[in-house]
Amino acid sequence: MRALRLLLPLMWWVWAAQALAQDPHIQRLAQELHSKESGIRAEAARALGRASQAQSVLLLRQALPGEPSAAVRLVMVRALREITFLRYPGYPEALRALEAQSSDAVEADEGVRLKATEALWEAAKKDLLDPVPFLRRNLGDRSPRLRLAAVEMLRKLGTPATVDALGQAALDNTQPETIRLKAIEALGAVAQDDLGPVGRQVQQANIEMARRFAGEPLVPVSSLAQRHQLQIRYLSALLREPRASSSLALRAVKSVGQVKDRSSVPILQEVIARHPDEAVRLQATKVLSHVLARQYE
């Protein structure tokens, strides 16, 4: 099996090289990718995107690292995006190339990185890849614009898998306050399927019964996770941070109100008793009343 995994990439490269040698049109575009004229290189990249063959991806990937013009690299990224979006042959390799160009460790130009990130986001919406790893990486991008875009995409995704990335961004003192505010806001907006205490007891009984009879439970074990509590832990940590501004604290309290989980009662009581800002204390009082009232709904 290991030998097969090693052999498959080699077979792909051999096949692509053979196809390149057999297609005069692609061969001409390959030569034009190395022209001294940036306009010719850009047009060759566009043509390769339209050709949408596996060897198009091979040529674009080979040309990207040595391409001196950010404008031409942007055209190449758009060509790879088109191949990926339409799932033409070679699109998995195009995804790898886009992932590389979305990283500031590989691509120096902010605009190119942003376009590659947007292409990956489109691919994620088509279930072609998991977006959380590259968005988490982009939270450390040298460009605040890219970091903010990552937070906004994580919010749009809104799955439990985004909580850790958003929570870490919210607590990161090296981030600008605007990014931390957006991360805190996104934390409160994450949709969670939390069954609550009674629901978890019912699910636990079902799982135990299934194990007793060596059967499959009707619900996954993961459904027992107290998911809202992870959000509350991150928000609580921020509210206990001495250096957190009143703006951050107020936004955190509002996000706690969006989550509306009973596990937030201790931190809300703590904020009401100790926070120096009256506006934050008043907001915490409102949120606490809503959280306590929810148990009777």
Domains, in order of start, for the chain: 123-191 (1.25.10), 193-225 (no CATH), 227-297 (1.25.10.10)
- Take residue 204 and report the two structure tokens written for it: 């636990």
How confident is the model over 240-268, as pLDDT tens digits?
Answer: 999 999 999 999 999 999 998 889 999 99
How confident is the model over 123-160, as pLDDT tens digits?
Answer: 999 999 999 999 999 999 999 999 999 999 999 999 89
Task: Name the CA dihedral angle for 231, 236, 241, 246, rounded to a multiple of 10 degrees.
Answer: 90
Those residues with Cβ within 8 angstroms of residue 241's Cβ, 6 or more apart along the chain or in another chain: 171
Predicted confidence band at 25 (pLDDT cuts at 50, 70, 90)?
A: confident
Predicted confidence band at 20 (pLDDT cuts at 50, 70, 90)?
A: very low
Among candidates 76, 216, 230, which has minimal Cα distance to 166? 230
Predicted confidence band at 86 (pLDDT cuts at 50, 70, 90)?
A: confident
Predicted confidence band at 32 (pLDDT cuts at 50, 70, 90)?
A: very high
**Which segment of 11-20, 24-33, 210-219 scores lowest on mean pLDDT?**
11-20
- Take residue 169 and report the two structure tokens written for it: 């961004």
- Take residue 81 and report the two structure tokens written for it: 């995006």
Asked if the model's pLDDT at residue 8 lies above 50, the reply is no
How confident is the model over 182-222, as pLDDT tens digits?
Answer: 999 999 998 765 545 544 455 555 556 556 666 665 555 44
Q: How many CA atoms lie within 13 A of 226 on its CB side?
A: 12
Taking the C-alpha atoms of residue 22 and residue 231, their distance in angstroms, rounded to an integer, is 56
Those residues with Cβ within 8 angstroms of residue 213's Cβ, 6 or more apart along the chain or in another chain: none
- The pLDDT assigned to 228 comes to 83
Give the DSSP per-residue string, 125-192: HTTSS-SHHHHHHHTT-S-HHHHHHHHHHHHHH--GGGHHHHHHHHH-TTS-HHHHHHHHHHHHH---
- Take residue 165 and report the two structure tokens written for it: 């990335």
Encoded amino acid at 261, one letter = D
- The pLDDT assigned to 205 comes to 56
